[in-house]
Structure formats: structure tokens, C-alpha cells
A = this chain, B = another copy of it.
């Protein structure tokens, strides 16, 4: 066919206002060009931070768009509901692949998933073998703890989340690794644990703080850090003067809290982006290799005490660590 006729046809189509009907095309092709996102946990608790979700979804959407796919939302408030959502969606064949966040030890949907041989990828890693993309959580806490060690701390409390989350298990490994590298003995009594809400963190720290000697706290999330800081204060310990604090999750709260929090940014955008890329690999045999583990990045602010404090917005030197480098290539 000549180039000229091609263009003439295209122009005619344009004039007549013709546009292909995607549903019909997809039916003929036997695919939907839809990717489903399943969240088997209430969104507020999704990775312990509301902001996490919007970034994650943004990255996912970008990758999907690049490949001409749509992202459809299937929010469940529990794993049981997730089982239903997944069942509906695979039965109706309304998606070509599934993205599933927050896998747990239980992951009751895994059976259905394997039986129906629909492509899927987890965000976070389950215990059972499965395709996943995750933060490099070992690295994440290693980075945070290393920073505290460089600031001169040797007695560092780790305020971790519950061990039922696989990422908390990984984080503990990173904590130990950092200590070991610095030749600091690991002390079990300095590893504390709380649920991922402020009040729980407050209580644990308020109770345990007087019983131990320590000069720094590494907290598993921003809200836990805030709970810890409040508890320390109520025990007469100021942050960062008496105790240094570093945490995970670079959120609005971390940025704006007083003192502003030194955090490890999780780069949720890229977590979502690569999760979709990887799913697409399975869906249409894309051949490129994609990262599985997204590195974290330290953002130094006031709570670790290694930066001089100046007055101004964000309590000091707004320039650095203010902009989220969420879209930098990893």
C-alpha cells in the first residue's frame, strides 16, 4: 500500500470522526488491556502511610500508560474481601494481570491466583514463592542506622513494626548488619516493637525508655517516630539534643514535624512503576530486566542532630531534602 493512500485514508477517518472501539478490538484480541490493582488492606494502613498510596499509584499509572494499558482499582479492606475482588475479576476476565499490595503470611488469594494462571505481581514480598517487587528493606534500615552510627551513636534503639509484616523482618536484618559492620554488639533489649500507629509507639517508648541506656532511636515509620519523640519528651528527653531519631517514610509529617525528621525515602513511585513493568513482562513477554528491589534514600533533616538548626520554614535549611526526588531514575 502506498504511503499516499495510507495518509488519505487516515485523513478521511479523521474527517468522518472515526475512532476504533476499544471494547470490540479487545474482544477480538482476547485481552482487555486492563491491569488490576488489588489492595487487601485499608488504605490508611497501606504501608503505614497515606501518602505512600498516591505515589505508588502514580508510578503504576505512568508505566501502564506508557504501555497502553489501563489501571483499574480494586480496593479491599481485608484479605477476605480481596479474595472476592480477585475472584470476580479473573472470572469476568476483566484484567490481563493483577498487582497485589501488602502480601502477608496468610495471602489466601494465592490459591485462586495459581489455579487461574493469571499473571500477577506482588508489591512487597510474601513468604511463599511468588513474583514480587519490593523496597530493599534490609538496605533501608541499614542506611538509616548507618547514618546514626556516623553521627557517633552506638546505643541505638530499633523501634520496629510487628513481625507479621515481612518488611519488618527484613528491616531487622538491616539493623543488625549496620551494627555488625561498625563492630557494635547487637543487644536484643534495644529492639522494641509496636504497631504502626502513634499511640502504640508512644506507649512502648514511654515504658521502655527509662529502663535502658541509649542515645538514638531508629523508627520503622514516621508515625512511630512521632510517638517515640513525644514519649521521650514526656520522660524529659529532647530530640535531637538528648536522643537522635531517624525513621522510614518521607512524608508530609516527616517534613513538617518539629523537629523535622531525618528519614529514609522509600521511592514509592518507582516501586509502583517497576511493579507494572514487571507485570507487563509476564503479560506480554517483555524482555528487559527490571529491578526487583527499590533502593531507599537518606534524607537528612533535624531529628538526627547532625545539622545545625536555622529558623525558617521546615525549621531549617529548607533547600536540602525538601523536594521529593521521586521521579529520579533508580
Binds B, one of A66-74, A139-147, A159-167, A298-306: A66-74
* A291 within 8 Å of B (CB atoms): no
Chain B residues with Cβ below 8 Å from A285 are none
A312 proximal to B (CB < 8 A): yes
Interface-side segment among A1-9, A119-127, A180-188, A197-205: A197-205
CB neighbours (8 Å) of A43 from chain B are 54-55, 57-58
CA distance A113 to B311 in the complex (A): 49
The distance in angstroms between the C-alpha atoms of A57 and B222, with both chains bound, is 23
Tell me if A211 is interfacial: C-beta within 8 Å of chain B.
no
- Interface residue? A230 (CB, 8 A): yes
Contact A230 B258 (CB under 8 A): yes
Q: A169 at interface (Cβ–Cβ under 8 A)?
A: no
Residue-by-residue, is A32-53 near B (CB-CB < 8 Å gives 1, otherwise 0)? 1010000000011010011101
Write out the residue numbers on chain B whose beta carbons fall within 8 Å of the beta carbon of A61: 73-75
CB distance from A283 to the nearest CB of B (A): 16
Stretch at the interface among A17-25, A104-112, A150-158, A170-178: A17-25
Establish whether residues A199 and B71, one from each chain, have CB atoms under 8 Å apart when the complex forms.
Answer: no
Q: Given A227-B313, A257-B256, does the pair A23, B32 have CB atoms closer than 8 Å?
A: yes
Q: Is A216 an interface residue (CB 8 A)?
A: no
Q: Which residue of B lies closest to A91 (CB)?
A: B19
Shortest distance in angstroms between A96's beta carbon and chain B's nearest beta carbon? 11
Max chain B CB contacts within 10 Å: which of A91, A92, A93?
A92
Is A252 interfacial (CB 8 A cutoff)? yes
Q: Do residues A199 and B318 form an inter-chain contact, with CB atoms below 8 A?
A: yes
Is B318 a contact of A234 with CB atoms below 8 Å? no
Minimum CB–CB distance for A13 against chain B, Å: 12
- Whether A256 contacts B313 by the Cβ 8 Å rule is no
By a CB distance below 8 angstroms, the chain B residues around A54 are: 43-44, 46, 50, 53-54
Q: Which one of B70, B198, B226, B258 contacts A72 once the chains associate, using CB atoms below 8 Å?
A: B70
The residues of A with any CB-CB pair to B shorter than 8 Å are: 19-24, 26-27, 32, 34, 43-44, 46, 49-51, 53-55, 57-58, 61-62, 70-75, 91-94, 198-199, 201-203, 222-223, 226-227, 230-231, 234, 251-253, 255-258, 311-315, 318, 322, 324
User: Residues of B contacting A32 with CB < 8 Å?
Assistant: 23
Contact status A73-B71, CB under 8 Å? yes
Given that A27-B24, A251-B50, A315-B230 are known contacts, is A58 also in contact with B72, CB under 8 Å in the complex? no
Interface pairs A-B: 5 shortest CB-CB = A202-B313, A50-B51, A22-B92, A19-B91, A199-B313
Q: List 18 A-B contacts (CB under 8 A).
A: A19-B92, A22-B94, A23-B32, A24-B27, A43-B55, A50-B51, A51-B51, A58-B75, A71-B72, A72-B72, A73-B73, A203-B313, A226-B256, A230-B258, A230-B314, A234-B312, A252-B253, A253-B253
